[in-house]
Amino acid sequence: MTKMTYREAVRGALRQALRSDPRVFLMGEDVGRYGGAFAVSHGLLEEFGPERVRDTPLSENTFVGAGIGAALGGMRPIVEVMTVNFSLLALDQIVNNAATLRHMSGGQLSVPLVVRMATGGGRQLAAQHSHSLEGWFAHIPGIKVLTPATPADARGLLLAALRDPDPVFVFEHATLYPTEGEVDEAAGPAEIGRAEVRRAGDAVTLITYGGSLGKALQAADRLAVEGIEAEVVDLRSLRPLDTASILASIARTHRAVIVDEGWRTGSFAAEVSARIMEGGFYDLDGPVARVCSAEVPMPYAKHMEDAALPQAATIVATVQEMLRRRG
């Protein structure tokens, strides 16, 4: 096991993929000479050259479309979109081409495309660089949506994405890049579509993913001081969603709080809540609760941004209120 940052884990997976498969190439804004907007691809241009690590113009619809075309032609492109907000410029290519071509061709065409992008707030970059829109992508049949929260998953899920015959979108919460964790560099790809219980408990299930996992674990630590043992479930993948693991945890704890950095209305948390109600209603001792971002464009000022985002204190307060209602 090696201790490394999330950023280093992604870079290691990219390097491994580029070395092992000549069909793999990386392209996106500033991925080459600059080393990536978040320094993930630093050094890869010098190691693999401009044919394998390609800087693109500031035109997401164009270079995501080029990635789709390359995938159709037998390559294994990894496309980096600088932040999730900019991916909206490529939605036509994503929804109408990447997600549909296998189905519209009756299985004759395959789009083995990986798209990586930074998501989430917490860095004082205001409303055009800070939202969590991965729940929107999880609405689309024909693609997979991965949300690695740890360095080990950042590596393992990216390796798994590169083996998938269909488009896979990897959402890397930007606050995670400098975080550290243990990574087994000899491990193979992770399993797509399987959630992980990051902490066991019997009083309430905290369901989350990506950048909110650390906050949920902090909340669980604070609740444990009060004698409340919270189970923390890391979804890891939003599409496919591991509904069975969610329901198994609810059967143990009988309560659920979903932590989702997306806006509450139409949130992915609402989808998880609905699945719990459909499949685990009789295991619940009370209503499912959601902790989501405030329904405003993300503020720039630090104190306002903190207030808009889910925080450990908010999760703790939500659980405490849930248990008070029980009494």
Annotated catalytic residue 172? no
Which residue is associated with the tokens 């590596």? 155
Cα–Cα distance for residue pair 305/60, rounded to 1 Å: 27
CA atoms within 13 A on the CB side of 111: 29
The catalytic position among 60, 134, 172, 305 is: 60
Cα–Cα distance for residue pair 5/315, rounded to 1 Å: 26
Annotated catalytic residue 60? yes
Helices 312-326/213-225 angle, 10° precision: 50
List CB contacts of 131: < 8 A, sequence separation 6 or more.
84, 85, 119, 120, 121, 262, 298
Q: Are 161 and 192 in contact (CB under 8 A)?
A: yes
Q: Which two tokens stand for residue 207?
A: 């369901």
Q: Which two tokens stand for residue 283?
A: 């295991």
The catalytic position among 29, 129, 254, 271 is: 129
Continuous H helices in the chain: 6-20, 44-48, 60-72, 91-93, 101-104, 134-137, 151-163, 213-225, 243-253, 268-280, 302-308, 312-326
Residues annotated as catalytic are 60, 129
